[in-house]
Each structure stands twice: as structure tokens, then as C-alpha cells.
Structure 1
Amino acid sequence: MAVAKNYLEVAGDTVFIFFDGDGEAVHHSELINLMTSSRSLAVVWKRFRASRSNLIETLDHFGYDFDRLLNEQFREGYRDAALAKLHRVDPKWIADKRQALGFPNAPGRTRVEFSVDEIMRAYDAAGSFVGAAALLGINRKTFKKLYLWALENGLQIEHRSSASAERLAALQEKARALGITTTLTEAELKAFMDDQWGEGD
């Protein structure tokens, strides 16, 4: 039987990450904190390369209930396709989990409403409109509209993460390099830079 090339092993409070023949030991809190903040196996997988079952088993070992997360996300209105991308799994697996957890498979496309926190968390995790849209299972144009809406609904720049602040500073620097001296909001800067580099609608 072939041994998985990328996998996780547990020893006490330590998670060993084996990737391409190399091993790294980290405290399990890093795994749990990343899963708790992102609510996405796809995001966690970027740091902890392992199979779906290996990841879920490791999370469960340290007390993280993945079924509980899915239960919450089903109640929040996520479609199977969106959850499949969010967790880097097959849509059929999500559909089976939906049924096992007692949620009906309603025909058609369920309308999904994302909170400001979910929108910004997806953007912070992915670092781009395209990546964040993929995490939420929507197209880039729709995510851009949601992102601008989020910025206009009470989310102040000073309350954002340091990573977001750094992105804003980088956008401002690029704008200055292009001769833009007026102070712009992050939404205005992002829209401007999208137009400059062909990422607009």
C-alpha cells in the first residue's frame, strides 16, 4: 500500500507536517486557530498539506468538530458548490454530508448572504478578488460588489488586520507612482488599480 506523500501525524500537542519528504513540527494551536479563523479547509490546506480525511481526523483529535462547522454553514445558506470550494472537496461529498446532517437538498440555487466579516475574512485569506470569490463559491464580479458594499457598511480601515493595512499602503504607493495624489478610500484605490491592470468588470 502506497504511503501518502503529504500527511499529518500527531504526537502529544504537536502536529508533524510531512510535505514532499520534509517534516515540520508545529503546536496544534496553529492548526486549530487557522481553522477557527478561516472556517475553510482550503485555507488550512495551504499550510497543512494533507488529505481531507487526514485533516478532519487531526482537527477532531484536538477537539475541533468539523461537522458542527458544516452544520453552521448549511444554516447560513451556503450552497454545496460554494462549500466544496471553501473546503477543497467534491460537491457530492458536501451533498452527502448535507443529507447526513439532516438538511434537505433544495432544488435550484439558494441565495447566499454573506456578512461583512465573512467577506473581509475571505479577502484577507485569499489576498485577491479572484481568490476570495473562489473561496465563497461566487464569481469575481459578484465578490467585488460585496467587497465594496462591506467597506461602505461600517468597516473602518483602522479596524482591519495588519495584512489589510499593508495592502492599502501598497495600493496607495502604486497610486502615487501613477500620479494620483488625492487621498482615496481602499475601495476607490482597489477599483482604480483593477482598471489599471485589467481586473475590472
Structure 2
Amino acid sequence: MKKLVLIFFLFINLSLFAQNKESVQDIFQKLKQQSNIDKSDKTVYNLLTEFYEKNLQADEEIMTPEDIQQIEKLLSDPNAKNLHILMLFLMYQQHISQTAAVGKEPDSNFQIETMNLLESETKDVFGKIPAIIYIYKAEALESGKRKEDSQNTVAQGLKEYPDSIPLKVYSYMNTHDNAIKNDLIKNHSKHWMVQQFEIK
């Protein structure tokens, strides 16, 4: 995971939720009850999209300290809308970051449950599932040894986001489709995931 994001999510103060013995569903319901839900407000959706663009879609990480300040500002704004989605996303991100930092495998059940909730809630609130949710859900399912479900998630994500490089990479890793491989090599050879998975 990229350094700036890892540092930010390691220190964000969500440990109260992450260490709680309650289920993800219970925690999410509490977050939702405290959140001001507004289906016309796309601030959180746009933030998730920007996070995806700068951390997953870009050739190299381009997230800045200003981007992190934007997240912190939103979290501290009492009038902010749909924060339950952002909080659950950050809780997920923190879990992944903390387990990676100590060399442990993440809890795949937690990952899958969290991604299912985020998928359902983003679709309900925003009318569309952000690309990053498809990517993280596919990773969660893969972590939970649910390869076929992961592949289906990647395929569905590519229908919504056909230009998503991470989804193309995962699709190639699943199918070994030469057309996808050629596209990745020709058009995205400098992308960090193409290089990480040594697609050449």
C-alpha cells in the first residue's frame, strides 16, 4: 500500500469502531443513525472517486496532504452529508492498513461484510457504485477464497468502468486474456499495478 495513504489511515482515529466487538452491521447501523443522509449530495461519492483516481487509477500515487486535509475537514463538518459511508470506508481502510503494517492477513469476513454494506449503501444513496468499491470487494472476495465471486465482481465493475486499470489488471490475472494484456502493456505499462504484477 502506498506510503501516504498508509500513514494517514494508520493514524486516523477510528480505533473505537475497529476494536469494538460488535458486528460490522451493528457498527454501520449506528453510524447511519448518526449520519445526515442526503441522496442529492455527492460530496462523499466524489471523494471516493478522487481517492480511486489518485491512488488506484493513476500511474503513481498523486494524493497530497491537501487531499487528506479535505477528508479531515469533511469528517469534522457537523453539516456534512452521508458520512456513514465515508466512515465505513475509512474503517475498512484502517483494518487493511493496520494488518499490513504488522504483516498479518486481513479478516476476510470483515472485508466481505464491509464491502457488501458499502456496495449496497452507495448504490442506494448515490445511485451508482464507485469504482473503488468494485476493486476492494473483488480483493475481499479473493482474500476469502471466493475466486468465482471475485471474478464476477471484476466483470461487473468493468461493465460500469471499462477504463479502470485496476479492474483490467484483475481481469487479466483471472482470465489471461491476451487482448487485455496487450492493452495493459501498450497503454498502461507504467501503471503501478501493471508493474507490480509484472505484466509484460
Q: Fold conserved (TM > 0.5)?
A: no
TM-score, scaled relative to structure 1: 0.30
Specify which structure has the higher proportion of helix: 2
Q: Which has the larger radius of gyration?
A: 1
Bigger relative contact order, structure 1 or 2 (CA pairs below 8 A, ≥6 apart): 2
Specify which structure has the higher proportion of strand: 1
